[in-house]
Chain A
Amino acid sequence: MTALLEVQGISLSFGGLKAVSDFSIALRAGDLQGLIGPNGAGKTTVFNLLTGVYRADRGSIRLGGLDLGGAKPSRIAAAGLARTFQNIRLFGDLSVLDNVRVACHLRAATSMAGAILRTSAHRGEEAALRAYATELLEIFGLGDRTGEQARNLPYGDQRRLEIARALATSPKVLLLDEPAAGMNPQEKAALSALIRFVRDRFGVAILLIEHDMGLVMKVCEGITVLDHGVTIARGTPEQVQNDPVVIEAYLGAPAQEGGGVPAERRS
C-alpha cells in the first residue's frame, strides 16, 4: 500500500547544531503513529519541517504524491496536513466558533465582492460554514461554548478546540504536538479515546508527539524514537519499550553521558 505522507531523509541544522538528521517516516491513510524522544530530541522541529515553518536542508516531503518541499505553511495546510501546537496557539480573542470558522477558510469559495454585497451564495455558504463548525464543536463537546472567547476556556477544552480547529481544514494527515501536556489522568484517558475516535470518524492519519508513555503505548500502532535529531528506534510499542537503545536514551547510561547516540547503535 502506498504511503499518504512520505518523508524521506529530511535534515535541518541551526548553525552547527544538527536539529534533525536524516529523518524518514511514512504514514498510510488511517495510521496512528507516535513520535517520541527525550526533551530537545527534535520532535517539534520535525513537525515544523513537515508543516513548512522551517525549510529542510535536505530530503523530501510528499503528501499524496504532491511534493511539499519549500511550500509555505498555508499551502501545506491546503494540501491536507494540519497540526496542533505544543504551546497552544488559539485565536484567543475570537470566539470558539470563529476559531473553527477561520480554519473553514479553505472551503470558502465566495469572492470579496460576494461578501460585501451579501449575495445569496455568500449567505448560503456562511450558513453552511456555521452549521459545519457548530457540528464539529458539538462532536468535541464544545457545543455549548461556541460564543465564548477561546482564551477563557479551561485548558483541556483549549486542547480539544485546537484539534477541532485543525480538523476543520479537512486534513488527510493530522499532527498532534503533545496534546496531553498538562492534562490530569481522567482527561488523558478521555483524550486517548478521542484520538482514536478522530482517526476513525474523520479517516485521517495521525502522527502524535507525546511525553506521556502510557498514552503513547496505548493509542499508537507504530512508534518512532528520536534522540538528538537522530532516529534511534522504530517499531511497535512493545518493540520500542524493550529496546535497550531507547531505554538508554531516556534514562542515560554512564558510558554515554553527554554524548549523542552513535549512529552504529541505531536499530
Chain B
Amino acid sequence: MTASPWAGKAGALRPGTAAAATAGVTPFAVGLLLAAALQYAVGPAVGPFFSDLLIKIGINVILAVSLNVVNGYTGQFSIGHAGFMAVGGYAAGALTYYTSMLAWGGPQVQGGVFGVGSALFVGACLVGGLVAAAAGWAVGLPSLRLRGDYLAIVTLGFGEIVRVLLQQTQDVPFTADEARALSPVEMATHLGGSLGFSGIPFYTNLFWVWCFVTLTLLVAYRLKESTFGRAFLSIRENEIAAEAMGVDTTRYKVRAFVIAAFFAGVAGALFAHKIGTTLNPRELGFMKSFDIVIMVVLGGMGSISGATIAAVLLTVLPEALRGAADYRMIVYALMLVLVMIVRPQGLFGIREIWELPPFARRRGR
C-alpha cells in the first residue's frame, strides 16, 4: 500500500472522534428509539416467529460483540463465554423467579414493557451481568497470566465446571409456600438441576433486548476508540512491546475479561427470560461457547461490525436453511469453511465495515 494523501484528513473525520452527533449520550437515545420502534412497530408487524428471531439475534450480537473484547481486542483465546452466560442467566433468573414468588405469590409477568415486573427484570439483568463479571474477575485474575492454549483450556474448564455445578442443583419450588420455606442460600441451590430451570417469567422483549444491544455496541465501540481500546489492541499485537510502553498487560487483560463476562451475563439473563426458554445447563455448555467463538472469528477478530454481522448471519442462517432439512448443518459448515478459505482474517479483519472500501477511502487505524 502506498501513502495516501487522504489518510491524515480522513483520520480527523473518523466517526469516533469527529461527529458531534456521537458526543455524549445521543447514541444511547437513538438506540432507545430504535428499540422502541422494534417493540411497537416492527414486532407486531412481523409476528411472533420473526420477533423471536430478532430477540435471538440481539442476544447473539451481545454475546459475539462482548467475546470480541477478549478474543478480538486483546487476542486472548477464551472458549468459556457460555459459562459466563450461564452464570448471568441463572443469577438473573433466580432473582426474578424467587422475587416474584415472594412478592406476588407466583411467577407470572407483572405489568407491561415498563411495568414493575420489567423493572425487576432489568435490575436482574444488571445483577446477572455483575455476578458474571465477578466470576470473570475470579477466573481471569489467575489464568490471564497464562497464554494461548492454556487460557483456552482454563476457560473451557470454567464453562464445564459451571455446567456441572448447575446440574447438581435441586428442583425449583413450584408454589409460593414452598419458595417461602427456603432460605436465600437454599434458593441458590434450588435451580432446577439437569432438568432445567422452568417457570422464569417471560419478561424478555424486543425493547429491552435491543436496549442492551445498544449498550453493548456503544461500550465496545467507545472503548475501542479510547486509551483502553488501544491498550487492549496493543496486547494482541505485541504483548512485550505493549508492556514496554507502560501498558500493564495483566491488568488490561483482566479488565477485558470482566467487561466481556458482564455482557455475557446480561445476554444470559435476557435468554433466561425469553419466551420458550427452559434454562438448561446443557444448552449453555461448550457447544454454545464455540458458536460464539465462530461468530467472532467469522466477523474478524477485533471488528465490532464484523462480530455483529456474523452474529446476525449465524442466527438467521440455520433458520433460513430449514428448507434444506437434513443437509442444513452440512451447508452451514461448508459456508463457514468457505469464508475461512476466502477470508482467513474474517469478514472485516480488525477494521470496521465503514473503514473498508467501498464505504470509505483509506482511514486512520
Residues of A within 8 A of B (CB): 51, 53, 72-75, 77-78, 82-83, 85, 89-95, 97-98, 101-106, 108, 110, 112, 115-120, 122-123, 126-127, 129-130, 134, 143-149, 152, 165-166, 168-169
Contacts and interface: CB of A to CB of B under 8 A. Distances in A.
B246 A119 contact: no
Contacts of B240: 53, 73, 85, 89
A74 B248 contact: yes
Contacts of B227: 101, 104-105, 108, 110, 115, 126, 129
A74 B230 CA distance: 15
Interface in B230-249: 230-231, 233-234, 237-238, 240-249
B358 interface: no
Contacts of A122: 226
Given A94-B233, A102-B234, A116-B219, A144 B8 contact: yes
Interface stretch (B20-28, B130-138, B333-341): B20-28
Nearest to A80: B246
Given A106-B246, A165-B245, A147 B23 contact: no
B7 A91 contact: no
Nearest to B232: A102
Contacts of A85: 240-241, 244
Given A72-B243, A102-B230, A112 B248 contact: no
- Among A90, A92, A112, A149, the most chain B Cβ lie within 10 Å of the Cβ of A112
A97 B249 contact: no
Nearest to A123: B23
Contacts of B349: 93
A89, A143, A152 — which one has the most chain B CB atoms within 10 A of its CB? A89
A160 to B, nearest CB: 15
Contact of B7 (A53, A117, A148, A166): A148
Contacts of B222: 115-116, 118
A108 B245 CA distance: 13
B175 interface: no
Chain A binding surface, main DSSP class: helix
Contacts of B6: 147
Contact of A149 (B1, B219, B242, B245): B1
A192 to B, nearest CB: 24
B11 interface: yes
16 contacts: A77-B243, A89-B241, A90-B237, A93-B233, A94-B237, A95-B364, A102-B233, A102-B247, A105-B230, A105-B231, A112-B255, A118-B24, A146-B364, A147-B7, A152-B1, A169-B246
A235 to B, nearest CB: 30
Assign chain B's interface to a size class.
35 or more
B245 A102 contact: yes
Given A102-B230, A126-B17, A94 B365 contact: yes
B3 interface: yes
Contact of B4 (A72, A143, A147): A147
B3 to A, nearest CB: 5
B246 A92 contact: no
Given A89-B241, A118-B24, A147-B363, A97 B11 contact: yes
Given A115-B223, A147-B4, A74 B23 contact: no
B290 interface: no
- The 9 tightest CB contacts between A and B, nearest first, are A147-B7, A91-B237, A115-B226, A77-B246, A89-B241, A108-B227, A147-B364, A73-B243, A106-B246
Contacts of B3: 144-145, 148
B244 A105 contact: no
Contacts of B248: 72, 74-75
B364 A97 contact: yes
A169 B248 CA distance: 13
A112 B363 contact: no
Given A105-B231, A146-B8, A116 B1 contact: no
A98 B230 contact: yes
Contacts of A104: 227
A101 B231 CA distance: 9
A13 B5 CA distance: 51
A116 B218 contact: yes
A132 to B, nearest CB: 13
